[in-house]
Amino acid sequence: MTTADTQPRRTSPRVVLVHTATFRQARQLVPVLIPVAAVVGLDDGLLTVVVMAVVITALSLAGAVLSWWRFGYADGPTAVVVTRGLLARSVRTVPNDRIRGVEVETPPLHRLLGLVRVRIDAAAGSVGTNEEELVVDGVPRAEGDRLRARLLSRRPAGVPAPDGEPGGGTDGGAPPVEEELSRFQPRWLLYAPLVGSYLVVPLAAIGTLFRLVQELPDAVVPDFAGPEPSPPVLVAALVAAVPLLALTAVVGAAVVNWRYRLVRRGGSLVAVRGLLTRRHTELEVDRIRGGTLSEGLGMRWVRAARVNALVTGLGQANRRGQLLPLGPRAEALRLLGRLVEYPGPLTGHPPAALRRRLVRALAAGLLVTAAGVWAAAVLGWWWVPVAGVVLSVLGVPMGIGRFHALGHGAGPRSFSVRSGWLVREQAVLQRRAVVGWQVQQSVFQRRAGLATVVACVGAGSGGYAAVDMAAAEVPVFTAAASSGTWAGTLAPH
């Protein structure tokens, strides 16, 4: 017999307005309608733009209505079931014990209509390879909060929640105690121009704008034809673009991380952020197996870092498990220490690892230089050997930097590995997170007495490597970093 909790539910009909206004269902039809308009003989005047806008809006409305009508979800005592589709009906079921996190988003149009979007992060294997999340788009805020609290509790029907968790407590449902772990400070926005992900956003926006202008009819695009700019003008434009790019990176970081706050509420970590789109992400503490400390090349100059939690079964940790989007390195280390016990100082790798890093860093430059000598003698391309020499010179600090980034260490309850140059990442994991070890040793590593050890874990990217460590240290490190003992042989690579 079905209960009210297992009956299929529908999202709010107001979501039809959101999907129509954002052309969610009709976006993929725009590249098709443009050549169709050319085939039927429509010109490139303003009337064509108006007709296409009306057609696309009508198609968007029809698609939004059909999508809402055929979408349903049910959060039963053991699983979440989502059904969708008009001609091809799709039913996806995710067991409650596979749910790793829930994110509640409030984009601007949703906020205007009193709606939210709920993203349900599921463990790998519960859904398709590239579909680790379910999305219930367009429910009222109260329903979104109810769905989030119910899914994260994951208890059979009739079993009360213990004290300190949602729905628990002796006073009939008192909210759990909330402990603030971190709060974003406005001055941390000054780090944004040194973070590649914030710089990419304005560049991508400019590229999208140029592509949109190219798709518009010629009649509605202004003519910017004129004399070619002189080299001094181009240099001045590039110089002026640098502070503008930095400013847009700061603005982008502010929009994404506005009023960021991380708290521990009962058995969950709750992160809230966003100016235009407000995001409420909740992760279970019991499923966190460690964290990563990421430092880009520019961030290391100013001692800044980012922290991500590594949650069992949760993919895309850089987005879903982000706990400190940007901040001082000291604050990042403090927060990382709250996730997992720090194992202590890292052990450096032997000089043979430095030689391998230098050879790899210099190989490209030396190859271009050798090819450039021939190109300069035969074709007169003198700039090719110059470029090769520059690459070779730059390869020296790059190789040394990559070597100094290498390190590993093991403590009583955790272990750590570190590598990377452009983005240096240090992973600190609990020993119980390890499900296996993979030891790789190429012919050149074997001659140098080195090996690469990969800790296989069920969290984050699935594997974290200690690159080019001394082969003699492999059994000691793997045994110290495991819950039990480990014995094995080096696998050729």
- As a whole number of angstroms, the distance between CA 309 and CA 291 comes to 4
- For residue 399, give every residue at least 6 positions away whose Cβ sits within 8 Å of its Cβ, in sequence order, or none: 354, 357, 358, 359, 360, 361, 362
The domain defined by 15-155 folds into PH-domain like (2.30.29)
Query: What residues does each domain of the chain span?
Result: 15-155, 186-257, 261-348+406-492, 351-404
Q: Please determine, for residue 169, whether its predicted confidence score (pLDDT) is greater than 60.
A: no
pLDDT score, position 213 = 61
pLDDT for 190: 92
- Angstrom CA distances, 174 to 158, 165, 169, 171, 179, stand at 18, 9, 6, 6, 15
Confidence of residue 158 (pLDDT cuts 50, 70, 90): very low
**pLDDT value of position 217:** 57
| Res 463: pLDDT | 86
Q: How many CB atoms lie within 10 A of CB 248?
A: 19
Helix 351-378 crosses helix 383-405 at what angle (to 10 degrees)?
Answer: 170
Least confident of 168-182, 199-213, 243-257: 168-182
Position 391 scores a pLDDT of: 92
Q: What is the DSSP string of 324-386?
A: EEEEEHHHHHHHHHHHS----SPBPPPHHHHHHHHHHHHHHHHHHHHHHHHHHHHT--THHHH
Q: What is the mean pLDDT of residues 79-105?
A: 83
Percentage of the chain beyond pLDDT 90 is 33
Which residue carries 């979007």 as its tokens? 117
The pLDDT score that the predictor gives to residue 28 is 59
What digits encode the pLDDT tens for the residues 341-367?
Answer: 989 899 999 999 999 999 999 998 999
pLDDT band, very low/low/confident/very high, at 452 (cuts 50, 70, 90): very high
Name, in order, each residue with C-beta under 8 angstroms of 314's C-beta and a sequence gap of 6 or more: 100, 101, 121, 123, 132, 283, 287, 320, 321, 459, 460
pLDDT at 3: 44
How sure is the predictor about 209, in pLDDT bands with cuts at 50, 70 and 90?
low
Q: What is the pLDDT of residue 204?
A: 72
Select the highest-mean-pLDDT range: 16-25, 94-103, 375-384, 391-400.
391-400
Taking CB atoms within 8 Å and a gap of at least 24, the contacts of 421-425 are: 421/297, 422/296, 422/297, 423/196, 423/294, 423/295, 423/296, 423/297, 424/294, 424/295, 424/296, 424/300, 425/292, 425/293, 425/294, 425/295
pLDDT at 145 over 50: yes
**217-239 pLDDT, tens digit each:** 555 555 555 566 667 777 777 78
Strands 304-311 and 288-296: antiparallel
CB distance 201 to 279 below 8 Å? no
Predicted pLDDT of residue 89:
78
Mean pLDDT of 456-463: 78
- Residue 397 binned pLDDT confidence (cut-offs 50, 70, 90): very high
Q: How confident is the model at residue 156 (pLDDT cuts 50, 70, 90)?
A: very low
Rounded distance, CA 250 to CA 84, Å? 40
- Alpha-carbon distance of 429 to 416, in angstroms, equals 6
- Give tens-digit pLDDT for 20-78: 888 766 665 555 555 555 555 555 556 666 777 777 788 888 888 888 898 999 888 88
pLDDT: which is higher, 141 or 167: 141
> What pLDDT score does 448 carry?
92
* Longest CA span, the chain: 87
Query: What's the pLDDT score for residue 407?
Result: 94
Give the tokens for residue 78. Answer: 């053991």
